[in-house]
Chains A and B, each alone.
Chain A
Amino acid sequence: MAIESNPTMRPEHHTPRRYEVRHETAYTYDDDVTASYGRACLRPRLTPHQAVQSHDISIEPEPDVLGEHVDFFGNFSHYVEILRPHQSLVVTKRSVVEVDWPAVDLDELDAFTVASAAERLRTDPLVDPVEAETYLLPSPLVSFEAEVHEYASSHLWPDRPLGEAILALTRGIYSDFRYTKGATTTKTTLPEIITSREGVCQDFAHLASACLRVHGLPARYVSGYIETVPPPGKPKLAGSDATHAWTSVMVPRPGGGSMWVDLDPTNDHLADSRYIVTAWGRDFRDVSPLKGVIFTESKKSTLKVGVDVIRLPD
């Protein structure tokens, strides 16, 4: 394991551990909602680094229909239908996961350049073209404007070694952009974000994906959580965690085929065992934790989200 080429790597974060995640989403409306149709992407998926020990979703009011299927991206997707009039909707998820996320060997990846990796993924018969192209094409929130090409070229270029390029992109976005809550909405475009140089995790994940895709590397948007630690001496507050989003890039597996490397430009390092995956897709719209359509005369609603990521004793 080449720690020297990745100064952000901390061996203590790559040990196996267990987490409990509690995630509550509560809407209140100022008038009756007569029908509510929702899609929830909350049940954590299995990954090479993550096993799910238990999982539960509860919804108040009791849904008339709660359906589940595995979507095109391999995520668990819930259909929620509530037909009794209600003024509040609370969706609570609880899961216990085991995470064991080893460090990535960036030196090994440096055997490829950005361009040679892209070419390998395109032509290697062991790579599934559906998977690769799904995450290579632009998507509504991962668009390929001139600004995106220009920004991408400040960290990625065809003959840059692959491992170096991935880390440089992660660290580059971290230092080029300010984290500003409320600076963007789900409708803000990448050129706007590149111009304003601020955003939240969702924006940085989209930007990193776009930079990788324009260089021919399939990149997906990952939705999940990260364990946080309270400031020294302070207790951890209930509900103080949040959902998180980062990027995962497809790279060639040295013996053939492909694998995925997860990078977190919001936090200046690659993913490790503190990262809990819920779902992935082309961009946020594919994996929004909860979205839906309501029928109501209500003009206003308030949203409260509380997340707790609790490390369980080994």
Chain B
Amino acid sequence: MSDELVDGSAVRPEAIDLAETIESLGAAGLMARRAAVRRLVQDDGITYGSGSEGAAGRQWEVDPLPLIIDAAQWAALERGLDQRARLLDLVLADLYGSQRLLRERRIPAAAVLGHPGFLSAAVGTRLPTERQLFLHATDLARSGDGAWVVLSDRTQAPSGAGYAMANRRLIARSMEGLHRSTGIRRLRGFFDRMQLALDEVAPHTDDRPRVVLLTPGVWSETAFDQAFTATLLGRPLVQSDDLTMRGGRVWLRTTGRLEPIDVMLRRVDADYSDSLDLRPESRLGVPGLVEATRRGVVSVVNPLGAAVLENPALLPYLAEVSRTVLGEDLELPHAETWWCGDDVARRHVLARLDQLVLRPISRASGRPHIFGWELSAAELEDHRRSIEAQPWAWTAQEPMPLSTAPIVTPSGLQPRSLVLRTFALAEGGRYHVMPGGLGRVATEANSLLVTNQTGALSKDVWVLSSPDAEHRERDRTDAGELGRVRLAPQPAQTRGITLAPRSAEDLYWCGRYTERAEATTRLLVVADNLAADNINRPSTPGFSAMTATLQAVTEVTTVRPGFTGVGAEDRLAHPFEHLRTLLTAPDVVGSVAFYARRAGQTASDVREQLSSDIWSVLSRLDRTLAEALAEGSESQIQPVGAKSLESLLALSGIVAEGLVRDSTWAFIDAGRRIERAQVITRLLRNTLAIERPPIVDGQLTEAVLRACDSVITHRRRMAAGLGPATPIGSAVDLLLLDGTNPRSVAYQMDRLGEDLSIVPDVRLATEIREIVTMLRAVDIDEVCQGGRLDLVDLLIALEQRLRSLADDIEATHFVHQAPQRSFMVAELMGRR
């Protein structure tokens, strides 16, 4: 068995630097690097897999040691991969075109027609480009003699290119020295090339083609890979509900209008892509998509039906087909394979069942690999019967010993079976192989099975630059050519003007949740401060102000029971535990931890729209609160609150400074503004709108101003004699009406108005103007008199206006499509 680091007893020449690094780091150093990678993965929010709704995906796992492939080896592999892509492309074109390969019996018809990846509905559809296979991924292993051998082809909707890029960024940071001193081929160009390829594959349009990436949704196993790919491509990530068929073509529903789609990079399995012509129960695609591709008005890549190439039953025939259609001998070997639909092959397989790897032609039907030697006599008999009953559905392969690569474990370096996934992309009539790929190693020792489903560990793959200039020359040409891609003006959609209602909704709620987390944190810090000073001083004005503040906490957060209602006495006497809960308990709806988590969730649902900086901030916030929760009664609200605020402010900063003022930003900001306006209103109503003795009022006013981060301004104004004469009047003025205070309701309305003008939304702008007019008409001194009943009325009216404004924003911009139903008329002819 061969290893990727050592060849026999000697280190492979391409891995000498890596071996030296391993040597100098030592066991402890390697473990530290492993921990560093894990932290980076957590900070970047890189996940794989997800159980069900609500369950976050597992953290992506990356070994710090890269897999290193030297230039000469890679060149040979690249040639083989290029040939394989060209070959499979021709096979694909034939199977959905004239089907000569089947009619001339070069490939058995049953092997193809019996494969679930073959979609008869897609026969007769074609991409406008010469190449039909857009993206070809190949899983390879190295055999005992060091040659790369194909394990399987991935053509449905290949995943992993995004993970490969993510791995590169992780390892470049965590193995910085080695990364910098090694000449490594870069991956970024592959994604620039993919942009070109996506534009090229579009049906003829006058404008720059509109391209989207269709995802099954955030609960998809490879959601991160999809979102990251969309980011790298600068194209929107869309879901079924974002799309609609109109006039025989596909449109993106945006918050403003419908945008026609020219190219769809598909990450939804083909049979789930169209509930009209394919699986009627699917809600992941667009009904009519097959029709739209047949009309040639949209290009779907990989094309619907491309999964037929994943069929292992094609393998026994590929060498001959290659000679026929390419006039070339197949360069990359694959494990010897038999298709059981052939009588001779089946007899051979049945005679050696216990020595072969059984592979059903369809991955959908249970286990993709069954090792004959692991089966009991009874199981062997069962499989024999299955094969005899439906022979076309089975293939068998000679077992393939996989090479191993070392991984870092707590008990030192351990060898694990390795599988390399490569990617080839069609552009300009030829195939471009990503110079690198996704390395995956088994999690168990001695395992031949390497799949992400069972929790594989991944590796960055370093292809060394060649000392000869040939590919460097090419890389340079590419860089020039591809640089233009990056600089080229993007179509309107990528400037964020077009935003799917679902994404707009996520952004808006992300804004609301972050603001709610921030406002709640400030309020809790103030309440805790008051409680610490006054809890042991009953019957003082401070104690009354504390009680009022705590009660306001409950009214504003609406976490009940709290400091009002059942059990309030107890909690008011011992407020700290409840305050801690409101800060750190993620399962309490209304707590800071709850909103922080919600903010993270909504952000990750629109990951491709946001700066990657926010993930480390969100994960820091999460860590702060989780650590405090773990500490229990030991944790102090002041430092935890301060640390949380730091993260929340960093988040606002990233949003404020890191996003262009387009609709993405506008919806986040709108969420923040409406939330802040509502919180201020509710807080005032539950504090200053109730008349108390002046000395209590004074302390409470200060608390409210602190919670609204306006205390300094207030003091300066009072000192300068500006604004209303009473402290209460001044505070209410500052928090409601003062358009220059970023913490006033009036200011929120101004900003909201600007946000909606970006979206754009004229109708709601009127509604906002009415609120502003209502505020302008207020005479502060007047409403603060007479037991403040007018103030109460004002705040109630304001709260209602704000709520109906929020409802209108949702109803106008986050419209979901009506539910989808399928129908089918049966035939019921009676007996004559």
Q: Are A267 and B832 in contact, with the CB atoms below 8 A?
A: yes
Q: In the complex, what residue of chain B is closest to A34 when comparing beta carbons? A: B818
Q: Are A65 and B102 in contact, with the CB atoms below 8 A?
A: no
Name the distance in Å between A191's Cβ and chain B's nearest Cβ. 15
The residues of B that contact A138 with a CB separation of less than 8 Å are 390
Q: Tell yes or no: A130 within 8 A of B by CB.
A: yes
Interchain CB contact (< 8 A) of A64 among B113, B246, B275, B830: B246
Interchain CB contact (< 8 A) of A245 among B245, B827, B832: B827
Q: Assign chain B's interface to a size class.
A: 35 or more
The residues of A that contact B295 with a CB separation of less than 8 Å are 67
The residues of A that contact B818 with a CB separation of less than 8 Å are 34-35, 295-297
Q: Are A39 and B276 in contact, with the CB atoms below 8 A?
A: yes
Q: Given A81-B248, A129-B103, do A288 and B829 touch, yes or no (CB 8 Å)?
A: no
Q: Are A72 and B831 in contact, with the CB atoms below 8 A?
A: no
Q: In the complex, what residue of chain B is closest to A295 when comparing beta carbons? A: B818
Interchain CB contact (< 8 A) of A226 among B392, B826, B832: B832
Q: In the complex, what residue of chain B is closest to A266 when comparing beta carbons? A: B831
Interchain CB contact (< 8 A) of A293 among B109, B275, B831: B275
The residues of A that contact B247 with a CB separation of less than 8 Å are 64-65, 81
Q: Are A200 and B829 in contact, with the CB atoms below 8 A?
A: yes
Q: CA separation between A223 and B276, bound complex, in Å?
A: 20
Name the distance in Å between B4's Cβ and chain A's nearest Cβ. 42
Q: In the complex, what residue of chain B is closest to A39 when comparing beta carbons? A: B276
Interface size on A, residues (CB 8 A): 62
The residues of A that contact B832 with a CB separation of less than 8 Å are 226, 228-229, 267
The residues of A that contact B102 with a CB separation of less than 8 Å are 129-130
The residues of B that contact A260 with a CB separation of less than 8 Å are none
Q: Tell yes or no: B367 within 8 A of A by CB.
A: no
Q: Given A79-B291, A144-B389, A243-B829, do A67 and B248 touch, yes or no (CB 8 Å)?
A: yes
Q: Are B830 and A179 in contact, with the CB atoms below 8 A?
A: yes
Q: Tell yes or no: A310 within 8 A of B by CB.
A: no
For B94-121 the 0/1 string (1 means CB < 8 A from A) is: 0000010011010011100110000011
Interchain CB contact (< 8 A) of B248 among A65, A229, A284: A65
For A224-247 the 0/1 string (1 means CB < 8 A from B) is: 011011000000000000111100
Question: A residues 143-170 with Cβ under 8 Å of B?
Answer: 144
The residues of B that contact A35 with a CB separation of less than 8 Å are 244-245, 818
Q: Are A37 and B829 in contact, with the CB atoms below 8 A?
A: no
The residues of B that contact A69 with a CB separation of less than 8 Å are 124, 294
Q: Are B823 and A301 in contact, with the CB atoms below 8 A?
A: yes
Q: Are B821 and A293 in contact, with the CB atoms below 8 A?
A: yes
Q: In the complex, what residue of chain A is closest to B829 when comparing beta carbons? A: A244
Question: B residues 774-832 with Cβ under 8 Å of A?
Answer: 817-832
**Which of A137, A225, A293, A296 has the most chain B CB within a 10 Å cutoff?**
A293
Interchain CB contact (< 8 A) of B829 among A73, A266, A303: A266
Q: Are B105 and A295 in contact, with the CB atoms below 8 A?
A: no
The residues of B that contact A290 with a CB separation of less than 8 Å are 823-825
Q: Tell yes or no: A71 within 8 A of B by CB.
A: yes
For A29-73 the 0/1 string (1 means CB < 8 A from B) is: 000001101110000000000000000000000001101010111
Q: Given A39-B277, A67-B295, do A242 and B829 touch, yes or no (CB 8 Å)?
A: yes
Name the distance in Å between B234's Cβ and chain A's nearest Cβ. 30
Q: Are B822 and A292 in contact, with the CB atoms below 8 A?
A: yes
The residues of B that contact A64 with a CB separation of less than 8 Å are 246-247
For B275-316 the 0/1 string (1 means CB < 8 A from A) is: 111001000000110010011000000000000000000000
The residues of A that contact B99 with a CB separation of less than 8 Å are 130
Q: Tell yes or no: A291 within 8 A of B by CB.
A: yes
Q: Tell yes or no: B147 within 8 A of A by CB.
A: no
Q: Are B830 and A181 in contact, with the CB atoms below 8 A?
A: yes
Q: CA separation between A146 and B729, bound complex, in Å?
A: 86
Q: Tell yes or no: A136 within 8 A of B by CB.
A: yes
The residues of B that contact A292 with a CB separation of less than 8 Å are 276, 287, 822-823
Q: Tell yes or no: B172 within 8 A of A by CB.
A: no
Question: A residues 94-127 with Cβ under 8 Å of B?
Answer: none
Q: Given A288-B825, A293-B821, do A133 and B109 touch, yes or no (CB 8 Å)?
A: yes
The residues of A that contact B821 with a CB separation of less than 8 Å are 293-294, 296, 298
Q: Tell yes or no: A87 within 8 A of B by CB.
A: no
Q: Are B288 and A37 in contact, with the CB atoms below 8 A?
A: yes
Q: Tell yes or no: B123 within 8 A of A by CB.
A: yes
Q: Are B830 and A242 in contact, with the CB atoms below 8 A?
A: yes
Q: CA separation between A295 and B246, bound complex, in Å?
A: 13
Q: Given A37-B245, A37-B287, A137-B392, do A293 and B826 touch, yes or no (CB 8 Å)?
A: no
For A276-291 the 0/1 string (1 means CB < 8 A from B) is: 0000000011101111
Q: CA separation between A162 and B291, bound complex, in Å?
A: 41
The residues of A that contact B121 with a CB separation of less than 8 Å are 71-72
Q: CA separation between A35 and B294, bound complex, in Å?
A: 20
Q: In the complex, what residue of chain B is closest to A242 when comparing beta carbons? A: B829
Q: Are B828 and A200 in contact, with the CB atoms below 8 A?
A: yes
Q: Tell yes or no: A9 within 8 A of B by CB.
A: no
Q: CA separation between A226 and B828, bound complex, in Å?
A: 12
Q: In the complex, what residue of chain A is closest to B104 when comparing beta carbons? A: A129
Q: Tell yes or no: A90 within 8 A of B by CB.
A: no
Q: Given A67-B248, A81-B247, A81-B288, do A25 and B829 touch, yes or no (CB 8 Å)?
A: no
Q: Are B389 and A293 in contact, with the CB atoms below 8 A?
A: no
Q: Are A186 and B824 in contact, with the CB atoms below 8 A?
A: yes
Q: Are B825 and A25 in contact, with the CB atoms below 8 A?
A: yes
The residues of A that contact B390 with a CB separation of less than 8 Å are 138, 144
Q: Given A27-B823, A130-B102, A144-B390, do A179 and B831 touch, yes or no (CB 8 Å)?
A: yes
Question: A residues 174-204 with Cβ under 8 Å of B?
Answer: 179, 181, 185-186, 200-202
Q: Are A37 and B276 in contact, with the CB atoms below 8 A?
A: yes
Q: Are A133 and B823 in contact, with the CB atoms below 8 A?
A: no
**Which of B246, B818, B826, B828 has the most chain A CB within a 10 Å cutoff?**
B826
The residues of B that contact A81 with a CB separation of less than 8 Å are 245-248, 288
Interchain CB contact (< 8 A) of B123 among A72, A288, A297, A305: A72
Q: CA separation between A79 and B121, bound complex, in Å?
A: 13
Question: Can you sample 22 A-B contacts with CB below 8 Å?
Answer: A35-B245, A67-B295, A83-B246, A130-B113, A134-B109, A134-B113, A137-B114, A185-B826, A201-B829, A229-B832, A242-B827, A242-B830, A244-B827, A245-B827, A285-B824, A289-B827, A290-B823, A291-B823, A291-B824, A293-B820, A296-B821, A301-B823
List 19 extra interface pairs beyond A292-B822, A293-B822, CB under 8 A: A34-B818, A67-B248, A69-B124, A73-B120, A81-B246, A129-B102, A130-B99, A137-B113, A179-B831, A181-B830, A202-B826, A226-B832, A245-B827, A267-B831, A267-B832, A293-B275, A293-B821, A294-B821, A295-B818
Contact surface of B with A, Cβ cutoff 8 Å: 99, 102-103, 105, 108-110, 113-114, 120-121, 123-124, 244-248, 275-277, 280, 287-288, 291, 294-295, 389-390, 392, 817-832
